[in-house]
Amino acid sequence: MSNQLNGKDILEKNFKTSMRGYNQEEVDEFLDVIIQDYEYFQHEINRLRQENDRVKKQSDTRVRSAPSNHQVNYDILKRLSNLEKAVFGKKYEE
């Protein structure tokens, strides 16, 4: 999605005047507010895109470095087995 306008485009836009036209000062003041909003929103969009990219990279790193569920389950079962042997001793093995 690309922007068709930017703050500079709005600032430099000229309108033709006519006998029954709008008050030029009022239009200019309103355009100034629009320019400020445009610049703020563009800045916010860029900031959010950067944050989104950062979060995606963090997520990718965590997914790649996380052990598989199979490995985690195996490790848990092995620890449980060792704990049972320690608690129940030889009786459990029989």
> CA-based Rg of the chain, rounded to a whole angstrom?
32
Task: Find all residues with CB under 8 Å of 92, minimum gap 6, and list them.
Answer: 84, 85
- pTM for the whole structure: 0.52
What pLDDT does 48 receive?
A: 96
pLDDT tens-digit series, residues 79-94:
888 887 777 776 555 5
What pLDDT does 2 receive?
A: 57
pLDDT tens-digit series, residues 31-54:
999 999 999 999 999 999 999 999
pLDDT tens-digit series, residues 17-26:
777 788 888 8
What pLDDT does 63 receive?
A: 67
